[in-house]
Structure 1
């Protein structure tokens, strides 16, 4: 799914952006498609890691850059380390690539953002992926994952793994987006429609749980820096202050957390 609307010009969030993180930056790992080259000017010197492959599928092109941009729009000055996991020439399954990327980041970062996911025939996470995330959580790394865009209550991984902050997409007025996964297994909803971010040489709007997750990651990072908190304490505080919204799913009406 490519970006909905492309537009050039200046940073659309130049006014009203959160305070720049100063001092020791928060370290965020992003496992995604890589950083598009040449690197977008908004992605500052704090962004490092794998470039986007030249042969990346058109529907995925720019995804890693956009996700990183959304993180930084919510936590300007944070340090982002990108690990690309879309190689078709490595001979490894995608879940194995993701697991290796997570393990590389453990010990280097405070937060890991995973803006992708999917269901499995067995309704369980691939063992390598589950083990890597359990390792990250045991090292006090907070893991945030997108719930998926399948408009279904079916559990998606890695978001549905215990301990992961699973993020669904909502509209600006706090309704679950039509495309978003839903269900009691989700931790929180955040805005996932008409999200603005860096794309190609300019800016764009995009929709998806990918960008709702990136927003949550960025907000946790900003709170860590602003209040000198650990990643887990910052995440707990952020979630405790979320607004409650009414959602409807297979079990009827219930309340859910919505990050305003």
Structure 2
């Protein structure tokens, strides 16, 4: 198990504007200091209300980010709650800029380190229709399974993964995460067309605003049949961010969004997975809940998430051989554990059914998640094997 406090210290050291907040005792969240996010149509009203602390306004794709003056020392969680309004019904769509992240054991990403694997046979494509799957993650590295496809050639430069951003000759904590997820998807649906977007770095850290910007980009690109989000966060008040909720809703009812349930071994709602419009996926280990997997009433499905094999990056780190094996020499294949990798198994199953039976993604998801056709587990949802 990783030392979570050490990991958190490294995150805070690298991201100086990151802040831990604990509006609810025992339920911490990570946010960007002195920033709030507002839905476009509420931006002017919110800007006027925060005028006394106001520093600058940044209109992003699909969201407005308001920066507050640091000397004012504004509690952005309290401010967001005040602007949104008390009770169950919100006045303005406003939220702190939550940090979405995936460092090992920090709530959304892998539950352990990747391990080198022998080559895995390439998925065999069949004559089915194409299904588009958006992967909002660390990006994509070239891999024999897809580097010759037209969908990869169209986007390879803008989505390239950064494997060693800090130049310490070691893979960053979550480098290769997006490539691994793409491999799991292709194993289940070889004809999938993957639309990649980099929303977190190789260290596994990104912003809510980055995800919203990517969702807006996806909408203006014509959307996708399925969106895979193997990232997420806890929110300061354990309620869904209204800004993120709007961005996902804007994709429309014909898009299926699948997201990981997180790796804290907790029933605390994890977002965006816990949104009603999103399929939340937990991880299984030999038919039971994996020890690290989140669970709860908000989880819709579960799939194997321990020692999952998939495509990976090529990289040789500095560690010496142990018993004749090099623990950080990767030749394009690996095994990895986490709800992050159970999620594309479910997304891939939905895509495969849609492709093989010429169904919409929504129709395919209804069939895959039908509790009358597949067994279920309490707090884990439908079992997808």
Same fold (TM over 0.5): yes
Secondary structure of the equivalent of 2:351? helix
- Once the two structures are TM-superposed, the CA of residue 144 in structure 1 deviates from its matched residue by 0.3
1:258 matches 2:258: no
Residue 355 of structure 2 corresponds to 225
1:52 matches 2:186: no
Residue 268 of structure 2 corresponds to 154
Secondary structure of the equivalent of 1:221? helix
C-alpha separation in 1, matches of 2:126 and 2:218: 21
Higher Cα radius of gyration: 2
RMSD of aligned alpha carbons: 2.2
CA gap of 1:256–1:23, structure 2 versus 1, over 3 A, is closer
- Once the two structures are TM-superposed, the CA of residue 23 in structure 1 deviates from its matched residue by 5.2
**Paired residues, number:** 241
Secondary structure of the equivalent of 2:130? coil
Where in structure 2 are the equivalents of 1:76-91 lying within 5 Å? 76-86=190-200
C-alpha separation in 1, matches of 2:162 and 2:173: 13
Residue 224 of structure 2 corresponds to 109
Gaps of 5+ in 1: 250-254
Q: Is this contact kept in 1: 2:117–2:309, CA < 8 A? A: no
CA gap of 1:32–1:61, structure 2 versus 1, over 3 A, is same
Q: Is this contact kept in 1: 2:114–2:335, CA < 8 A? A: yes
Residue 32 of structure 1 corresponds to 137
Q: Is this contact kept in 2: 1:35–1:51, CA < 8 A? A: yes
C-alpha separation in 1, matches of 2:261 and 2:216: 21
Residue 117 of structure 2 corresponds to 7
Higher relative contact order (CA 8 A, sep 6+): 1
User: Which deviations, in whole Å up to 9, do the C-alpha atoms of 1:114-141 show, x marking residues without a partner?
Assistant: 00112112112333211111112x2411
Residue 144 of structure 2 corresponds to 41
1:196 matches 2:285: no
C-alpha separation in 1, matches of 2:355 and 2:374: 22
Residue 20 of structure 1 corresponds to 125
Secondary structure of the equivalent of 2:135? strand
Q: Is this contact kept in 1: 2:129–2:191, CA < 8 A? A: no
- Once the two structures are TM-superposed, the CA of residue 187 in structure 1 deviates from its matched residue by 0.3
1:244 matches 2:381: no
C-alpha separation in 2, matches of 1:191 and 1:205: 12
C-alpha separation in 2, matches of 1:87 and 1:4: 17
Residue 186 of structure 1 corresponds to 299
Gaps of 5+ in 2: 1-103, 105-111, 315-331
Of 123, 131, 135, the match for 2:246: 131
C-alpha separation in 2, matches of 1:62 and 1:4: 9
C-alpha separation in 1, matches of 2:249 and 2:223: 16
Q: Is this contact kept in 1: 2:223–2:255, CA < 8 A? A: no
1:176 matches 2:284: no
Of 220, 233, 257, the match for 1:118: 233
Secondary structure of the equivalent of 1:200? strand
Range 79-88 or range 205-214, more displaced = 79-88
User: Which deviations, in whole Å up to 9, do the C-alpha atoms of 1:186-237 show, x marking residues without a partner?
Assistant: 0011110110011123211100001100111111111001000000000001
TM-score, normalising length: structure 1: 0.85
C-alpha separation in 2, matches of 1:34 and 1:85: 8
Q: Is this contact kept in 2: 1:33–1:63, CA < 8 A? A: yes
Secondary structure of the equivalent of 1:222? helix
